[in-house]
Amino acid sequence: MPKKIFNPSEWLGNQPTGNVSDQLSLLDDQTSAIDNHTLEVENIILQLESKQLDITESYPDWVNLGFAIADGFGESGRSYFHRISNFYPNYDKAECDNQYDKCLKSGKSGITLKSLFYKAKQAGLNIQTGPNPKSEDSDPSVPTLPDSLFTELPEFLKKVVCYADSNEERDILLLGTLVCISACLPKVLGIYDKKRVYSNLFLYVTAQASTGKGKLVHCKQIVYPVHKDMRDLALSLKRQYDADLADYNLTKGKQDGAEKPPKPPEKMLFIPANNSSTGAYQLLSDSDGKGLIFETEGDTLAYAFKSDYGNYSDGFRKAFQHETISYYRRTDREYVDILSPCLSACLSGTPQQISTLIPDVENGLFSRFIFYRMKMQYNWKDVFSSVFAQGLNEYFDELGQEFFSLYKILQSGPYIQCKLTKDQEMRFNAFFTTIQDQYLDLVGKDYMASIRRLGLITFRFCMILITLRLMESGEQSTILICEERDFNTSLQMAKVLVIHAVSVFNQLPAVAKPSIRKNKKQQFLDSLPKNFNRQKYLEVAKSLSIEAKTAEGYITQFIKNNLIHREQQDNYVNISIE
């Protein structure tokens, strides 16, 4: 059946009589009411998802919530009903769809959205009703980083965040800068879980359009001088190659032993996300296994991973743990190993774009990312206020030059190992033991990989903060011990970021677990009662279309394997039943 197209005049024809102006006014009022209800219901569901609350445990409550949502939203409310039902232990998608179909077909049941608001209030949720809220700051599921953290940052990072227009912008400037810098700390390492690790981080900032995530581009400016330095080196090598190739062509065939010069590497910091798998690996290899993927549209990387030629998702995941990436270059017929790859990634996009990159909760990419969910601010800001005549671009260019000085010192110096004190190591382990226990109980085992890798991410935060302190102290040492303020800052960030990650985690679809079909033998054992005789087990076998002789053989095997005990003649006990 072709989709019916909405016709305003046709819709208005079903409304009370009156002039067109009055009818359009009525339409505006009803549309406004629907918009308000959408915000209110979305607010309720976000809180349910954050707290993992089930308000559908009673069957009548579940049915009534279906009626309430159907009354308020019709067919468009189906996803709301699924999201509310999702935390019921025996949630079944097909059953949920079937129940919502019944609610839609029943017409007016007399149950309205007020029933949902009442049930949510009983569950202790914050209910927003009335006009559109001015901000989402009341959403407790996505806190910002605490103000006290910013007073203890290294001086360089204080300069990075000082001109942010909101707490959210301040947070993403800090996180984005840490991630970009994480790709530019040559010869800085640490030992974590008995393995050598480097400072590289993955970040995904998620927000609706026009929320302010565009400020991340300033973080890219901070490390642009590193990229330019690498490109200048690549250009210099290319010129030398062209000269050597010209000499080779002049002497070719005239001079014994003349060898064609090899092509120079394409060195760069910023590796394009829109790339083939071989192209991405080759650029990473050419840059000594180090690089940064920086994309303001998360879909760019997602679409590359989904294409046949560009799926380097496996190598992307390996790079987070510095695991060897191997690939084959067809042009040169060369097999290449990238040992200990050091790749960082800074991405941003809308909530819908996350599921394109990370389709479900079991995808290994999720646990490797820092997630930050920006909240929409509904107030118009002064778009002309600025302390800089040329905007912030020149300011961040200057910060880039300042960081580049540290980069060159690190590049030419010896390897530096970052370490925690023994007391910090004990507190680190205690902190993550508590976090792991809390979220195992709240979210379940599917979230454990994220907690484990958050530990590594937090240690990498420490490494970066330790190294940035060199800009203040000028210390020359091969061992750097983490200052107490930097250790506390890293734990504070982890405490907030774990909440943001859970918020994103709850939006991803769970993987449907395939039901395991039991064989006839297992079905037979499971169908036997606790106590039975030969006549009973033959009846059970017949119901399962099992021959009598086969059933007798099964019983003999069950007795042999201590699944069934024969107490006396023609008297059996099924000890497989607890």
% of residues, the chain, pLDDT over 90: 39
Radius of gyration for the alpha carbons in the chain, expressed in angstroms and rounded: 31
Residue 91: what residue type?
Y
* pLDDT band for position 24 (cuts 50, 70, 90): very low
User: Given a cut of 60, is residue 146 above it in pLDDT?
Assistant: yes
User: Given a cut of 70, is residue 299 above it in pLDDT?
Assistant: yes
Burial of 220 (0-12, 13-18, 19+ CB in 10 A): buried
pLDDT at 397: 95
Burial of 350 (0-12, 13-18, 19+ CB in 10 A): middle
User: Quick one: how far is CA 39 from the chain centroid?
Assistant: 24
Domains in the chain, CATH or no CATH each: 8-122 (no CATH), 147-253+260-376+388-505 (3.40.50), 520-574 (1.10.10)
pLDDT at 134: 39
Cα distances from 487 to residues 153, 174, 403, 427, 500, in angstroms, run 11, 16, 22, 10, 20
DSSP state of 418: E
User: Quick one: how far is CA 16 from the chain centroid?
Assistant: 49
pLDDT in tens, 487-497: 999 999 999 99
Side by side, which strands form the sheet with 564-568?
Answer: 531-532, 571-574, 564-568
How far apart are alpha carbons 456 and 497 in whole angstroms? 13
How far apart are alpha carbons 194 and 192 in whole angstroms? 5
What pTM does this model have?
0.66
User: Given a cut of 70, is residue 502 above it in pLDDT?
Assistant: yes
Give, to the nearest 10 degrees, the angle between helix 393-412 and helix 448-468. 90
pLDDT at 310: 65
pLDDT at 66: 86
Residue 311, SS3?
A: coil
pLDDT in tens, 28-81: 444 444 445 677 787 788 777 766 788 887 777 888 888 888 888 888 888 888
- Region 452-470: mean pLDDT is 96
Is the model more confident about 356 or about 418? 418
C-alpha dihedral sign at 100, 105, 106, 112: positive
